């Protein structure tokens, strides 16, 4: 990131190689459209290039920030084209085949870190009861509110709220080691 | 609020699933309770990790070159001066000074021209409004003309308020704070004691779904919310919104909320920008 701040294009190339597959995959999961997802990838990395200071290291990990930016930009695009699709019906319907690694990294340590985090998050999501996983995915990847999820699933609003709370609590417990704020919480 | 309700609120806010009123409650809790703020940040980080659960798909390999080519074309803003003054020749400084002087003079001329054009436009709008008033009084079945007249008068008053507040050198500006839903949006809340008016100047607002609108809510010291304005951004996703004087009374915070349905008063959505107003700006 420091090299990026000096305008070093090689730094951007490295970041692209490291994270573009992940950024593309998240955007594709939200948009279900390769072309739109590629547009988001371009916007995210150009934003990083033009405004490297938009990432504040004191407020969390870079990967968390990057995922947040990607998700928000993808949801913006989803709303713009008003193509709110049924996320649960097309979960694994994106074009192309799933691949094993995030990218062709020149930094094995970084690759290992991201791979470990991915494995932990996927395992934690898989361990959630299906109803809790569904509401969390509709909220996160579909950008839906409690009320919209209740309308979509036909479940009572209170049930949706409870599922979100329980699901998030389980994820928090499962992923404590990956949360920089957990240690802060414990030390208080 | 029970611990479960509190956790429900904070976890859902981290996930971005709350309606606007609930999001306002959550933001208030986070601002006023350090433990809640810590709990929220923990959930926020977990929410961001959810992205890692997606199955990986490879983008078009050509995209890499497109991104890098666009980056090379893009001349990024420099955060450091490229030249140091002590190494700059005098003639370069003189030329720079002359250029800045000419630019300032040109800008001043442009501003004067803009003021004249705005005044002329205002006169036309006012004239049209009066003409519509006459039409409304003379003809039968002219409710539509009356409505249009009211809208024109309202737009004219708003525009005049915006100009007056922006022209007041003593206007107090409060920078709007970003939220999880800002996505790069920003702006300021300007209050002119002299003019007794306030204006929201916003930029880079996120796109709205078809039929959506932004709403401006003001919060009083008792946490009561009042709808102050509703607007749709211009083509560059910016907006200048004049707020009525009576609705600004006792306001301690202002929220800009995106709603998906402009025609539904009960429609809610995420808080895109917010600001805590200084005492001078919030009391008359």
pLDDT tens, B63-78? 999 999 988 887 554 4
Considering CB atoms only, which of A63, A79, A143 is closest to B207? A79
> Chain A residues with CB inside 8 Å of B52's CB?
22, 63, 67, 114, 117-118, 121-122
Residue contact A46–B70, C-beta within 8 A = yes
pTM: 0.54
Residue contact B53–A121, C-beta within 8 A = yes
Q: What is the pLDDT of residue A188?
A: 33
pLDDT band at B139 (very low <50, low <70, confident <90, very high): low
Q: What is the pLDDT of residue A133?
A: 95
pLDDT digits (tens, 9 = 90+) for B214-253: 898 888 777 777 888 888 888 778 888 888 666 446 788 8
**Within an 8 Å CB–CB cutoff, is residue B53 touching chain A?**
yes
Residue contact A12–B71, C-beta within 8 A = yes
Residue with the bigger pLDDT between A107 and B176: it is B176
Q: What is the pLDDT of residue A99?
A: 58
Q: What is the pLDDT of residue B152?
A: 66
Q: What is the pLDDT of residue B92?
A: 61
Q: What is the pLDDT of residue B283?
A: 37
Residue with the bigger pLDDT between B108 and A69: it is A69
- A93 burial level (CB within 10 Å; 0-12, 13-18, 19+): exposed
Tokens read off for A188: 């208080």
Name B197's bridge partners: B192
Residue contact B53–A161, C-beta within 8 A = no
- Looking at every residue in chain B, the average pLDDT score rounds to 76
Q: What percentage of chain B exceeds 90 in pLDDT?
A: 8
Residue contact B208–A79, C-beta within 8 A = yes
Mean pLDDT of B138-145: 56
Q: What percentage of chain A exceeds 70 in pLDDT?
A: 73
Instruction: For residue B105, give Cα distances in angstroms to B26, B40, B114, B119, B167.
Output: 49, 51, 14, 21, 18
pLDDT band at B81 (very low <50, low <70, confident <90, very high): very low
Q: What is the pLDDT of residue B184?
A: 78
**Radius of gyration for chain A, computed over Cα atoms and rounded to the nearest angstrom:** 17
Q: What is the pLDDT of residue B179?
A: 80
> Chain A residues with CB inside 8 Å of B208's CB?
79
pLDDT digits (tens, 9 = 90+) for A103-129: 554 456 666 777 888 899 999 999 999
Does ipTM exceed 0.95?
A: no
pLDDT digits (tens, 9 = 90+) for B7-63: 999 999 999 888 888 888 888 899 888 999 988 988 988 898 899 999 888 888 899
**CB count in 10 Å sphere of residue B164:** 17
Alpha-carbon distance A156 to nearest alpha carbon in chain B (angstroms)? 15
Q: What is the pLDDT of residue A70?
A: 92
Considering CB atoms only, which of B8, B48, B206 is closest to A161? B8
Instruction: For residue A119, give Cα distances in angstroms to A28, A97, A169.
Output: 19, 18, 19
SS3 A188: coil
Q: How far apart are CA B281 and CA B284, in angstroms?
A: 8
Give the residues of chain A that fall short of pLDDT 50: 83-84, 86-93, 105-106, 181-188
Residue with the bigger pLDDT between B166 and A97: it is B166
> Chain A residues with CB inside 8 Å of B207's CB?
76, 79-80
Q: What is the pLDDT of residue B118?
A: 62
SS3 A58: helix
């Amino acid at each position: 990131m420091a090299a990026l701040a000096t305008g070093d294009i090689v730094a951007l190339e490295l970041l692209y190689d490291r994270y573009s597959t992940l950024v593309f995959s998240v955007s594709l999961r939200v948009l279900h459209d390769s072309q739109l997802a590629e547009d988001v990838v371009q916007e995210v990395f150009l934003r990083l290039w033009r405004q490297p200071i938009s990432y504040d290291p004191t407020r969390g990990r870079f990967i968390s920030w990057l995922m947040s930016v990607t998700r928000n930009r993808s949801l913006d695009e989803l709303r713009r084209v008003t193509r709110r699709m049924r996320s649960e019906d097309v979960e694994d319907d994106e074009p192309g085949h799933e691949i094993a690694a995030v990218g062709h990294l020149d930094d094995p340590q970084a690759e290992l870190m991201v791979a470990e985090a991915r494995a932990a998050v996927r395992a934690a999501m898989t361990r959630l009861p299906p109803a809790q996983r569904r509401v969390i995915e509709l909220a996160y990847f579909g950008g839906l509110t409690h009320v919209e999820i209740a309308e979509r699933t036909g479940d009572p609003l209170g049930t949706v709220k409870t599922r979100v709370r329980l699901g998030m609590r389980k994820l928090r417990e499962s992923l404590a080691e990956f949360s920089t704020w957990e240690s802060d919480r414990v030390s208080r | 609020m029970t611990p479960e309700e509190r956790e429900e609120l904070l976890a859902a806010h981290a996930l971005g699933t709350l309606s606007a009123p609930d999001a306002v409650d959550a933001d208030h809790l986070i601002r006023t309770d350090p433990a809640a703020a810590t709990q929220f940040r923990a959930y926020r980080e977990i929410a961001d990790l959810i992205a890692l659960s997606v199955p990986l798909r490879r983008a078009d390999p050509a995209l890499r070159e497109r991104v890098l080519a666009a980056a090379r074309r893009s001349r990024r803003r420099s955060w450091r001066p490229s030249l140091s003054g002590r190494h700059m020749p005098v003639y370069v400084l003189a030329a720079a000074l002359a250029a800045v002087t000419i630019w300032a003079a040109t800008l001043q001329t442009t501003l004067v021209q803009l003021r004249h054009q705005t005044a002329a436009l205002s006169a036309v709008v006012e004239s049209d409004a009066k003409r519509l008033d006459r039409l409304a009084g003379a003809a039968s079945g002219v409710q539509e003309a009356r409505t249009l007249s009211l809208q024109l008068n309202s737009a004219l008053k708003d525009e005049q308020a915006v100009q007056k507040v922006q022209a007041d050198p003593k206007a107090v500006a409060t920078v709007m704070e970003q939220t999880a839903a800002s996505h790069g949006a920003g702006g300021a809340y300007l209050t002119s004691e002299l003019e007794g008016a306030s204006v929201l100047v916003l930029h880079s607002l996120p796109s709205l779904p078809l039929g959506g609108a932004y709403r401006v809510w003001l919060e009083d010291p008792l946490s009561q919310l009042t709808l102050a304005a509703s607007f749709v951004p211009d083509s560059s996703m910016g907006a200048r919104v004049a707020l009525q004087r009576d609705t600004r009374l006792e306001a301690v915070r202002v929220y800009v909320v995106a709603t998906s349905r402009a025609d539904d008063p009960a429609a809610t959505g995420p808080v895109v920008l917010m600001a805590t107003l200084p005492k001078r700006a919030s009391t008359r």
